[in-house]
Each structure stands twice: as structure tokens, then as C-alpha cells.
């Protein structure tokens, strides 16, 4: 319904919520910090002005980029904490800039204000539920479930790399206790940069040890024996991959990109049918993660190095090329 008081000749624009508009959210936050730093007549001292100008901008943008949800209405409280930190630093250390670590602590305490029970365990964070379930299956087959929690960045479609910073803030993740394992693709690299800014341990999937030997994008399904994926499609003749890439030059390899809508079906089938040899390359990833935490392992440190070199150079036609389902021909 048109508003009678508005001239309909002018164009109208619908803005998304400010929590989804990073530039506007940052401008609001910095404006609020400036208000907190100003004196009675609205002036900011040179020292405080310099400190404000030296805020770690990339870390600030990364932290502010996380969705605040209903807490966005409490942004003045966050601004007040940042201003207090700048004032304290100015008194103690002059114009020494606020570090990104200190800034991250302020955001963490604002985002998750109640003291969290510090976990003595170790956590592997992967992009989605299917990734987490596959790694848990590998851990179960190899007898390596103990000591390591394998968690997705989000549930169902509400996950992926866009949730990485929120996980850092809400779960208070720590170096040497939490590792983020992300796909080797543009979103993964972008999330890696953000997480490293926040001092987190993050690993991208290594294309050189994938079964598909892909030299571009790599996700967790690339670490499943290609002939195993072929058996899945033989068992589900109504399904087709999103795409199939065949490389005939040495090393010959074939990449099957699983349709996103079929990943749940694939995961259920793998949980019931895949052997440890089908998931050997995933097992290697898991042993590398456990080695970083000094947890009980399938391979020793020396064996991991030998195994890595083997996976880099192995020539296994079934694992890397498979046998296309007959009904595809």
C-alpha cells in the first residue's frame, strides 16, 4: 500500500538490516567510540585520536563482520569497552596501538559475556555437518575417536566458512586447542585470512594428497577413493554428480563433484558401506590433525612423513581414476 504522505515519483530502496551492512556497522561503531573518547566540548585529545586512528582495521572489519543478531542493539556497550581500552592504553603506553589480540578479546567478551568453562580437550572444526560425520566415521573405523571433538561450523545450510568468525567469538576458540580445516577454494582462503588475523590455527585441504589430484578447488569429497564414489553412483542410478573432470595427462585423475543436494545421501551410504581403505586419504588428514595435538594416532610422526610423500606420488588407477558407472556410458 502506498504511503499518502510520500511522493511516489521518487524511487524507493529497501535496505538490509545494519547487521548485514558491514560498512555502516563499522561507521556506527567508530562514531560511538569517538563519542566515548570526546570531552565535555566534543574534543578528542591528540593521543586518543592517534590511538583511534591506529586501531587494527583488518581485524576490526573481520570481527565486526560476524553477525551480532539481537546484540547489535547493544553496540554502544561494545564501543564503550573499546574506548575504555584505548584510554587505558593511552595512560599506560601513550600512543602504542591497541593490538588485534586485545581487540579480539573485547569482541569475544561482548559476543559471549558469560565466562565459558575452558575445555581441556581438542576440537577440529570443519565446514559442514557432512564433513564432520565423515571424519567421525574415519575416526571410528581407525579407533581414533578419543580425545578429539569434530564439529561443523554450522548446522544444515546455516554453516560454512561464513560462520568461522562467529565460532571464534561464541566458542572462544584457542590456538593449540582448536584447528579449522577448510576447503581449498576461494571461500576457504578468504576464511583462512580472517582466522589467521584472529590468531587461530587453520589448515586448507592439500590438493596434493586428494584422490582427484585437482589443482584448483578441493573439498572433502576429493579425499574419497574415486572408485568408492563410483560404487555410490552405481547404487543410486537416479543421481548424477554436479560435474565430472577427467585428466589424461600424468598423473591421470578424475574428479567427481558431488551435487550439494546429494551429500546427505552420500554420507549415509558411506557411513554404511565405506571401508577404511576407501577413506585412506581422509585418515591421513585426521592423523596429521591428531599429531598436532599429540594425541594417540594411527601413524607415528615418522610414518606420517613417509605416508605424505607416498600420497604425493602414488599412482593408483582405482583410487585416482575409478571405474565410471556403466549407466553413465
Q: How many Å apart are CA 175 and CA 264, to the nearest integer? A: 31
Q: What is the pLDDT of residue 131?
A: 95
- My answer on whether 87 and 159 are in the same domain is no
Residue 298 belongs to a domain: yes
Rg of the chain on CA atoms, in Å = 25
- Cβ-count burial 3-37 (b if 16+ within 10 Å, e if not): eeeeeeeeeeeeeeeebeeeeebeebbbebbbebb
- Whether residue 92 is found in the same domain as residue 230: no
Same domain, 243 and 192: yes
Q: What is the C-alpha to C-alpha distance for residues 251 and 313, in angstroms, rounded to an integer?
A: 9
Per DSSP bridges, beta strands 243-247 and 253-257 are antiparallel
Using the predicted structure, report yes or no on whether residue 65 has a pLDDT greater than 70: yes
Of 111, 132, 160, which residue sits at a domain end? 111
Overall average pLDDT of the 270-288 stretch: 97
Same domain, 311 and 184: yes
- Lowest-pLDDT range, 14-23, 110-119, 177-186? 110-119
Cell 577448510 found at: 182
Q: Mark out the alpha helices in the chain (DSSP H runs).
A: 22-37, 46-53, 57-64, 75-93, 100-111, 129-142, 164-171, 186-197, 226-235, 263-273, 280-292, 301-313, 317-320
- Domain contains 1: no
Look at residue 309 and tell me if it is in a domain: yes
Give the distance between the most distant pair of CA atoms in the chain: 80
What predicted TM-score, i.e. pTM, was given to this entire model? 0.83
Q: Please determine, for residue 51, whether its predicted confidence score (pLDDT) is greater than 70.
A: yes
Q: How many beta carbons lie within 10 A of that of residue 160, not counting itself?
A: 17
- Residue pLDDT, tens place only, 175-193: 899 999 999 999 999 999 9
Residue 300 covered by a domain: yes
* Percent of the chain's residues with pLDDT above 70: 92
Domain closes at, from 89, 111, 133: 111
201/75 same-domain check:
no
Domain total in the chain = 2
User: How far is residue 186's CA from residue 188's CA, in Å, rounded to a whole number?
Assistant: 5
pLDDT above 60 (res 117): no
- Is residue 12 one of the residues assigned to a domain? no
Is 4 within a domain? no
Of the two residues 95 and 237, the one the predictor is more confident about is 237
Distance CA 207, CA 218 (A): 6
pLDDT of residue 129: 93
**Are 199 and 98 contained in the same domain?**
no
Do 106 and 145 reside in the same domain of the chain?
Answer: no
pLDDT digits 0-9 by tens, 157-172: 656 888 999 999 988 9
Whether residues 192 and 305 share a domain: the answer is: yes
pLDDT for 237-277, tens place per residue? 999 999 999 988 887 889 999 999 999 999 999 999 999 99
How many other CB atoms are there within 10 angstroms of residue 185's CB atom?
16
Is 182 contained in some domain? yes
Q: Do 227 and 149 belong together in one domain?
A: yes
Q: Which domain does 94 fall in, by range?
A: 18-111
**Is residue 6 in a domain?**
no
Q: How far apart are the first and last CA of the chain?
A: 57
Q: Are residues 63 and 190 in the same domain?
A: no
pLDDT band at 294 (very low <50, low <70, confident <90, very high): very high
Domain termination site, one of 51, 78, 111: 111
Q: Is the predicted pLDDT of residue 1 greater than 50, yes or no?
A: no
Residue 256: all three cell numbers together: 567427481
Both 81 and 163 in a single domain?
no
Q: For the ranges 70-79, 267-276, 277-286, which has the lowest average pLDDT?
A: 70-79
Say which range, 47-51, 196-200, 276-280, has the weakest mean pLDDT. Answer: 47-51
What CA dihedral angle connects 287, 290, 296 and 298, to 10 degrees? 0
Greater pLDDT, 12 or 176: 176
Query: Residue 149: is it exposed, middle or buried by C-beta count within 10 angstroms (0-12/13-18/19+)?
Result: middle
Which pLDDT score, from 0 to 100, does residue 206 have? 95
Total number of residues shown for the chain: 329
- Tell whether 69 and 201 lie within a shared domain: no
Please give the average per-residue pLDDT across 77-86, as a whole number. Answer: 92
Amino acid at each position: 500500500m502506498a504511503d499518502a504522505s510520500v511522493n511516489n515519483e521518487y524511487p524507493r530502496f529497501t535496505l538490509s538490516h545494519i547487521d548485514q551492512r558491514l560498512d555502516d556497522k563499522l561507521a556506527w561503531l567508530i562514531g560511538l567510540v569517538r563519542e566515548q573518547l570526546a570531552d565535555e566540548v566534543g574534543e578528542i585529545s591528540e593521543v586518543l585520536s592517534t590511538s583511534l586512528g591506529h586501531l587494527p582495521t583488518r581485524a576490526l572489519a573481520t570481527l565486526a563482520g560476524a553477525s551480532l543478531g539481537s546484540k547489535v542493539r547493544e553496540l554502544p556497550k561494545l564501543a564503550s569497552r573499546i574506548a575504555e581500552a584505548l584510554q587505558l592504553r593511552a595512560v599506560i603506553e601513550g600512543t602504542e596501538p591497541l593490538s588485534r589480540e586485545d581487540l579480539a578479546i573485547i569482541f569475544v567478551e561482548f559476543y559471549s559475556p558469560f565466562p565459558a568453562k575452558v575445555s581441556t580437550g581438542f576440537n577440529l572444526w570443519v565446514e559442514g555437518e557432512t564433513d564432520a560425520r565423515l571424519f567421525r566415521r574415519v575416526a571410528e573405523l581407525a579407533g581414533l575417536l578419543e580425545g578429539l571433538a569434530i564439529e561443523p561450523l554450522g548446522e544444515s545450510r546455516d554453516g560454512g566458512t561464513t560462520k568461522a568468525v562467529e565460532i571464534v567469538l561464541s566458542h572462544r576458540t584457542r590456538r593449540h586447542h582448536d584447528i579449522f580445516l577448510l576447503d581449498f577454494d576461494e571461500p576457504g582462503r578468504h576464511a583462512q585470512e580472517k582466522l589467521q588475523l584472529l590468531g587461530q590455527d587453520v589448515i586448507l585441504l592439500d590438493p596434493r594428497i586428494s584422490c582427484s589430484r585437482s589443482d584448483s578447488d578441493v573439498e572433502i569429497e576429493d579425499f574419497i577413493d574415486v572408485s568408492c564414489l563410483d560404487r555410490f553412483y552405481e547404487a543410486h542410478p537416479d543421481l548424477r554428480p554436479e560435474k565430472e573432470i577427467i585428466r589424461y595427462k600424468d598423473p591421470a585423475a578424475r574428479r567427481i563433484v558431488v551435487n550439494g543436494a546429494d551429500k546427505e545421501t552420500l554420507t549415509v551410504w558411506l557411513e554404511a558401506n565405506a571401508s577404511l581403505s576407501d577413506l585412506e586419504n581422509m585418515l591421513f588428514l585426521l592423523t596429521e590433525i591428531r599429531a598436532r595435538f599429540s594425541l594417540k594416532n594411527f601413524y607415528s610422526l615418522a610414518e606420517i612423513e613417509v605416508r605424505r610423500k607416498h600420497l604425493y606420488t602414488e599412482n593408483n588407477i582405482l583410487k585416482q581414476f575409478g571405474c565410471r558407472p556403466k549407466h553413465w556410458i
